[in-house]
Amino acid sequence: MNRPFFTWNLRLVLLLICALACTWPNLSSAQSVASLRRSAIVNAVASTRPSIVNIHGHKTVRSGSPYSDPGQRVKGMGTGIIIDPRGYILTNHHVVEGVRRINVSLFDGTATLARVIARDPVTDLAVIKIDLERRLPTIRIGTSRDLMVGEDVIVIGNAFGYENSVTRGIISALHRSVQVNDTQKYYDLIQADASINPGNSGGPLLNIAGEVVGINVAVRVGAQGIGFAIPIDKAMSVAAQLLNANRISGVWHGIISDTEKDTPEEGVATLSVQDGSPAAVAGLSRGDVITKVNGVTVHRSLDVERALIGTKPGQRVAVQITRSGKSMDLGVELTSSSQIRQATAVVSIDEEAWEKLGMRLVELTPTEMSEYKQEVEEKGTKSYKFDGGLRVSDVRSGSAAAEQGIRSGDVLVGLHKWKTLSFDNVSYILRESTITKDQEVTFYIVRSGETFLGKLPATWVR
């Protein structure tokens, strides 16, 4: 009598097993599909988005003089990357140029105002800062030195005002020079076919690992699939100069570190130590590898400068180095940046230029400024806009300047990465730059309305 009941129960169990067997592959398949969909690109985007910001603002654009043309107020947009958890952001100079109120929005929806910390029109890079009561996620920095044509890249930015837009493509070419307009020319750019639209400027060009390898800067008008980015190694070198402790905190350390270092390992080499500087007094020497400064692990020269933000003259900071394979701890007592001039001002800037560059320089009078500017305009040199320089009054016989053909009457308008509009500019280049003694620097001169360039050995570096 109990047998039918037992048979019925057995049938129920078998039916349940069959049902589970039918649904189990579907569950496994769904998980497998989700795993396949989560590609390297998805992971790269997900890990990077929180460290990318959208920038909005308004600027006044004029076609004539500010007296005759009141100008038109236009909306600007761009992108930036967080390079320090205290709110320091790297973007393009042209994104923030002329913008009085810079609005920044984060990936989590937080909106705030930013202020410009430093900018360099020549390289078209700028550092801005937002102030929030929390530490922010920073972007992972890669290297542009080993980029490969055909390599996958990703662009994230504020394209046409559509925040956090993502596009992808490949690297089409390297070392491109691009003339954007009459006053702006870029050198050594990365070319990619990922869509780099208006609003993407200042944002990251990422590799497949989610590391930034370039700063998006320009798109070829009228051509689809052609965009450009500044190599990240160059951008980090400029960022280190923009966040220089002397500029930001008014302190002097005297360390000139290797701005070209691009390996992920800890440490950056000391290329030189300025005479009489706090670093020299502390015992730091050329060739020492700096691994930590003020508690911040050092991977590149930018980290040295970041570590000193907020420090004050008289403050003693811990510097950890490796010398001949041995780890050492040093204490560097920072001094006021005004001590730089006191330690190095042995001769006048004019005499210094004569001694180190082999030429005497004089400032242009307003009349000369007008004449040189008219001469350049008459030549129709669209690639260069004359806005000043220092006139060469004499060239020392046998000097590198003489060998390069510089002569009296030429106007020195640029040296290395900087314009030479004043003696202070020249002083900065000769004393505070990261130029090494085995390096050749590019000089730019105006002669008869035309621009010429050449190379000078940096023999003034000790």
Domains of the chain in sequence order: 47-130 (2.40.10.10), 152-235 (2.40.10.10), 244-339 (2.30.42.10), 347-457 (2.30.42.10)
Point out the catalytic residue in the list 56, 93, 94, 253: 94
Task: Name the residue with higher pLDDT: 71 or 15.
Answer: 15
pLDDT of the residue at 169: 95
Highest-pLDDT range among 205-209, 238-242, 342-346: 205-209
Point out the catalytic residue in the list 201, 257, 277, 337: 201
β-bridge partners, 51: none
Q: Kindly state the average pLDDT of the residues 415-422.
A: 82
| Model pLDDT for residues 125-176, shown as the tens digit of each residue | 999 999 999 999 999 999 998 999 999 999 999 888 888 899 999 999 998 8
* Farthest CA pair distance, the chain: 124
Distance CA 409, CA 373 (A): 14
Distance CA 213, CA 148 (A): 11
pLDDT of the residue at 8: 56
pLDDT of the residue at 102: 94
pLDDT of the residue at 195: 85
Residue 114 has pLDDT above 90, yes or no: yes
Of 158-167, 183-192, 233-242, the least confident: 183-192
Q: Which amino acid is at 51?
A: S
pLDDT of the residue at 381: 56
Q: Kindly state the average pLDDT of the residues 110-120.
A: 92
Of 91-100, 273-282, 433-442, the least confident: 433-442
Report CA-CA distances (Å) from 166 to 11, 104, 108, 135, 243: 55, 18, 16, 25, 29
| Model pLDDT for residues 425-443, shown as the tens digit of each residue | 887 787 655 677 777 888 9
Task: Name the residue with higher pLDDT: 98 or 216.
Answer: 216
Of 164-173, 207-216, 400-409, the least confident: 400-409
If phi over 0 gives left and psi between -120 and 50 gives alpha, with beta otherwise, what is residue 151?
beta
| Model pLDDT for residues 247-264, shown as the tens digit of each residue | 788 888 988 887 665 555
pLDDT level of residue 20 (50, 70, 90 thresholds): low
Residue 30 has pLDDT above 80, yes or no: no
Residues 209/214/220/221 CA torsion (nearest 10 deg): 90
288 is catalytic: no
pLDDT of the residue at 384: 58
Report CA-CA distances (Å) from 354 to 206, 238, 256, 414, 415: 45, 28, 24, 16, 15
201 is catalytic: yes
pLDDT of the residue at 386: 75
Q: Which residues contact 148 (CB under 8 A, 6 or more apart)?
A: 171
**CA 343, 346, 350, 352 torsion: positive or negative?**
negative
pLDDT of the residue at 72: 54
pLDDT of the residue at 65: 41
pLDDT of the residue at 10: 64
Contact 260, 284 (CB under 8 A): no
Q: Kindly state the average pLDDT of the residues 380-399.
A: 75
pLDDT of the residue at 79: 97
29 is catalytic: no
pLDDT level of residue 3 (50, 70, 90 thresholds): low
pLDDT over 70 percentage in the chain = 81
Distance CA 167, CA 363 (A): 49
SS3 annotation, the chain: CCHHHHHHHHHHHHHHHHHHHHHHHHHHHHHHHHHHHCCHHHHHHHHHHHHEEEEEEEEEECCCCCCCCCCEEEEEEEEEEEEECCCEEEECHHHHCCCCCEEEECCCCCEEEEEEEEEECCCCEEEEEECCCCCCCCCCECCCCCCCCCCEEEEEEEECCEEEEEEEEEEEEEEEEEECCCCCEEEEEEEECCCCCCCCCCCEEECCCCCEEEEEEEECCCCCCCEEEEEHHHHHHHHHHHCCHHHHCCEECCEEECCCCCCCCCCEEEEEECCCCHHHHHCCCCCCEEEEECCEECCCHHHHHHHCCCCCCCCEEEEEEEECCEEEEEEEECEECHHHHHHHCCCCHHHHHHHHCCEEEEECCHHHHHHHHHHHHHHCCCCCCCCCCEEEEEECCCCHHHHCCCCCCCEEEEECCEECCCHHHHHHHHHHCCCCCCCEEEEEEEECCEEEEEEEECCCCC
pLDDT of the residue at 433: 54
Task: Name the residue with higher pLDDT: 150 or 423.
Answer: 150
Distance CA 184, CA 84 (A): 28
Residue 210 has pLDDT above 90, yes or no: yes
pLDDT level of residue 7 (50, 70, 90 thresholds): low
Point out the catalytic residue in the list 124, 233, 288, 410: 124
Q: Which amino acid is at 194?
A: A
pLDDT of the residue at 166: 95
Residue 52 has pLDDT above 50, yes or no: yes
Distance CA 52, CA 278 (A): 36
pLDDT level of residue 181 (50, 70, 90 thresholds): low
